[in-house]
């Protein structure tokens, strides 16, 4: 039972990160009906920028919380600019092109980002400096580390903030209007180009925070880290119902839990035939399962292709 609860805690932590990344996919999809393939790489860039800044500042004797904060802010700024550039270069010129075209530019751009990262940061693994105190709370037989607590709490706060932004502010209203019908929104005085660009910027800022969480949690970062993460977050978005914000959050948490429990128990369940090295397969099985049985996801409305 303790193992089960421990895996649940680990799963929720992981799931919070997936949820943040999934929000980026789902927001862009909700507005443009397009999968932003390069989103996983934005997470990677955010993670590596934060890592570098934190390493440099704490090396100069900055106090730990300040260095981490500066790292997060730097990552957010870089990623927001990156999101803006991605939208301008890869998607805006192709808004009227056949569907295949933006998919191909997106995959091309994600390769470019990966290779640029490999040039800047090298191909090895970068380790997160041990600046955070390894504090943990034992609760029954379950150990919750400080970093897990911070990740879950921060992710929760950000998601609540995003929901308020989308539901209560003028920008949120403009985003929802653009998602429903860009042409009409434009006629009503919404600057749809600006709304779409801001959606990318917002999603990229979330991706930056998620990236910092990943390196802080696993203690390592690498130029290839965005790929699998992006794939899983996309799965989370589909699981919750793509285009639906609460859906992405729910999907992220669920996927994190499924993956942790799956990796924890697969050995026992299959009599040792499959080990935890198959943990990356779960997300994929979830994706296929959802697409077969419930393609609209848990909270998604019936998706209708626009004619």
Partner 1 sequence: MNRLRMLGLAAAAALLLALPFITDATLGHGWVRILDFALLYVLLALGLNIVVGYAGLLDLGYVAFFAVGAYCYGLLASPHFDLHWPLWVLLPMGAMLAASFGVLLGTPTLGLRGDYLAIVTLGFGEIIRIFLNNLNTPVNITNGPQGVSLIDPLRIGPWSLGQVHHLAGFDIPIVVNIYFLFLLGVLFAILLSRRLEHSRIGRAWAAIREDEIAAASMGLHTRNLKLLAFAMGASFGGLSGGLFAGFQGFVSPESFTLQESVMILCMVVLGGMGNIAGVVLGAVLLSVLPEALRAAGSLQQDLLGHVWVDPSNLRMLLFGLALVLMMLLRPEGLLPARARQRELHG
Is 184 a binder of partner 1 (CB under 8 A)?
Answer: no
Backbone angles phi, psi at 34, to 5 degrees: -145, 140
Give the DSSP H/E element, type plus range, for residue 220.
strand 220-221
By DSSP bridging, strand 126-127 and strand 220-221 are antiparallel
Among positions 96, 99, 134, 268, the unique one binding partner 1 when judged by CB under 8 A = 99
Q: How far is the CB of 109 from partner 1 (least distance, A)?
A: 6
Among positions 238, 250, 253, 254, the unique one binding partner 1 when judged by CB under 8 A = 238
Which window, 157-165, 181-189, 192-200, 271-279, contacts partner 1 (CB under 8 A)? 271-279
Is 97 a binder of partner 1 (CB under 8 A)?
Answer: yes
Is 228 a binder of partner 1 (CB under 8 A)?
Answer: yes
Is 66 a binder of partner 1 (CB under 8 A)?
Answer: no
Q: Is 149 exposed, middle or buried (0-12, 13-18, 19+ CB in 10 A)?
A: middle
Is 119 a binder of partner 1 (CB under 8 A)?
Answer: yes
Is 105 a binder of partner 1 (CB under 8 A)?
Answer: yes
Residue among 108 and 141 whose Cβ is closer to partner 1: 108
Is 81 a binder of partner 1 (CB under 8 A)?
Answer: no
State how far the Cα of 13 lies from the Cα of 162, in Å rounded to an integer: 19
Residue among 73 and 107 whose Cβ is closer to partner 1: 107
C-alpha separations of 114 from 36, 61, 227 in Å: 15, 31, 9
Residue among 81 and 89 whose Cβ is closer to partner 1: 89
Q: How far is the CB of 54 from partner 1 (least distance, A)?
A: 26
Is 26 a binder of partner 1 (CB under 8 A)?
Answer: no
Q: How many CA atoms lie within 13 A of 11 on its CB side?
A: 24
Residue among 60 and 277 whose Cβ is closer to partner 1: 277
Is 298 a binder of partner 1 (CB under 8 A)?
Answer: no
Residue among 71 and 241 whose Cβ is closer to partner 1: 241
What does the DSSP 8-state code read for residue 129?
P
Contact (Cβ atoms closer than 8 angstroms) between residue 127 and residue 216 = no
Residue among 76 and 287 whose Cβ is closer to partner 1: 287
Task: For the chain, give the longest Cα–Cα distance.
Answer: 62
Nearest-5° Cα angle at 273, 272 to 274: 95
Nearest to 37 by CA among 134, 143, 108, 93: 108
Among positions 5, 103, 163, 299, the unique one binding partner 1 when judged by CB under 8 A = 103
Contacts of 55 (CB under 8 A, 6+ apart): 129
Contacts of 298 (CB under 8 A, 6+ apart): 239, 240, 241, 247, 250, 251, 254
Q: Which residues bind partner 1 (CB under 8 A)?
A: 34-35, 37, 89-90, 93-94, 97-105, 107-112, 114-116, 118-119, 227-228, 231, 234-235, 238, 272-273, 275, 277-278, 280-281, 283-284, 287-288, 291-292, 295, 303, 305, 307
């Amino acid at each position: 039972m303790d193992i089960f609860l421990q895996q649940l805690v680990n799963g929720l932590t992981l799931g919070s990160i997936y949820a943040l990344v999934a929000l980026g996919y789902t927001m862009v999809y909700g507005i443009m009906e397009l999968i932003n393939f390069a989103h996983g790489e934005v997470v990677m860039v955010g993670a590596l920028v934060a890592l570098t800044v934190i390493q440099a500042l704490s090396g100069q004797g900055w106090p730990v919380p300040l260095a981490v904060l500066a790292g997060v802010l730097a990552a957010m700024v870089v990623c927001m600019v990156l999101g803006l550039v991605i939208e301008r270069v890869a998607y805006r010129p192709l808004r009227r092109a056949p569907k295949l075209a933006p998919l191909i530019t997106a995959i091309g751009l994600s390769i470019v980002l990966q290779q640029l990262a490999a040039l800047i940061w090298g191909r090895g693994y970068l380790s997160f400096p041990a600046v955070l105190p390894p504090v943990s709370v034992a609760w029954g037989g379950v150990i919750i580390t400080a970093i897990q607590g911070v990740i879950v709490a921060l992710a929760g706060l950000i998601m609540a903030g995003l929901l308020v932004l989308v539901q209560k502010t003028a920008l949120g209203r403009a985003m929802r209007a653009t998602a429903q019908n860009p042409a009409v929104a434009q006629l009503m005085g919404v600057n749809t180009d600006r709304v779409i660009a801001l959606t990318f910027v917002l999603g990229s800022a979330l991706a930056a925070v998620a990236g910092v969480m990943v390196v802080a949690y696993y203690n390592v970062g690498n130029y290839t880290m965005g790929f699998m993460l992006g794939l899983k977050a996309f799965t989370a978005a589909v699981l919750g119902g793509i285009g639906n914000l609460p859906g992405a959050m729910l999907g992220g948490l669920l996927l994190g839990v499924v993956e942790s429990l799956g990796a924890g128990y697969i050995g026992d369940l299959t009599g040792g035939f499959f080990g935890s090295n198959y943990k990356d397969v779960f997300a994929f099985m979830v994706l296929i399962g959802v697409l077969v049985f419930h393609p609209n996801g848990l909270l998604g409305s019936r998706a209708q292709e626009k004619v």
